[in-house]
Structure 1
């Protein structure tokens, strides 16, 4: 299956800068179509809030109606794409603020995923516990080399998407890949 992605404009980044919306989009991508009621239950929020967030996601092209489901009473939603990519960082400070809010929301979701994985770890079968890792690697590289490495990792992860589609022993396995200069070591100067 070919991976489809969306590169949002600044307005789309603003919409995704809300952690609840970002989490809802992730759920629709990983768990499939759902109604506002189903998502509200999973997220522990009311259906009015959920419906509002779904309309915002739809307005910016992140989700669409799942027309094959529903009975006129329930509206089903599905992700329009499997991935969100970002364009280069905007130069305009107002646009940069939307970009930064989106990145902060992504970081919050990733941190929650790691916390959930740690909490569930002891409940996993031994083989899955042994396949999991919480590792970091501190290496010295140039910015050009770092970009080349992250590109190679992205390509590797995209190759893995199709490896186990039909294997009954396969399970959803999350690779959260973050790469950044060690905080506090570059002084925060402009590039």
Structure 2
């Protein structure tokens, strides 16, 4: 697993546009969780050719999401690592129609990635030891509250998660918390 990087990035419009590509988001997520890799190993992992993977890595590097890992590799093999541990987006920063469309495209790509993650986790669930099965959940809670209160609850959940640190060790494993918080579809009037 990669060492924990405290750095957080809040990308602008161009960065969000780059991350809205599902393959780039998968590559970045992989580098954050699994650590540095070459374009060749990433290509094999994601079923791509190394040229396409190199292109996606260059796009991610151009926007500061990944950097070359100079402690590894040689002139022939370039290793890449995530430059930040987290990517934050703020809906309030998306003011124009174009900014909202780019932010929504990023969120859509993230939702697809999260859905893939939960599907893969459910596929492996029968193989997990009881302790990991017991620690896991797929739950939802539905409350009728105003938008301001919903934002407050999400912020508090994020605050709780941010208060924990990695605890490496033989019994430890990467454990993902996917926060999915949104109005129940069909219950909020669209904005003009």
Q: Under TM normalisation by the shorter chain, which class is it?
A: over 0.9
Q: Tell me if structure 2 keeps the 8 A contact 1:150–1:179.
A: yes
| 1:68 matches 2:71 | yes
Deviates more, 1:95-104 or 1:82-91: 82-91
1:25 aligns with 2:24: no
Output the CA distance in 2 between the equivalents of 1:61 and 1:177.
25
Which sections of structure 2, spanning at least 5 residues, go unmatched? none
In the TM superposition, structure 1's runs of 4+ consecutive aligned residues that sit over 6 Å from their partners are none
- Contact (CA 8 Å) 2:39, 2:50: kept in 1 or not? yes
Of 11, 14, 17, which aligns to 1:14?
17
The aligned counterpart of 1:179 is: 181
**Unaligned stretches of 5+ residues in structure 1:** none
Alignment partners' CA distance in 2, 1:171 and 1:80: 21
Match of 1:103 in 2: 107
Calculate the TM-score normalised by the size of structure 1. 0.94
Partner of 1:59: 62
> Which residue of 159, 174, 183 maps to 2:163?
159
Residues of 2 paired with 1:76 and 1:175: CA distance? 28
The equivalent residue for 1:85 is: 88
C-alpha distance in 1 between matches for 2:158 and 2:14: 26
**Residues 142-151 or 1-10, more deviating:** 1-10
Q: How many Å separate the matches in 2 of 1:99 and 1:150? A: 18
2:177 aligned counterpart, secondary structure: coil
- When normalised by structure 2's length, the TM-score is 0.93
How far 1:168 moved relative to its partner?
2.9
In structure 2, the CA distance between the partners of 1:152 and 1:2, relative to structure 1 (3 Å rule), is farther
Secondary structure of 1:176's aligned partner: coil
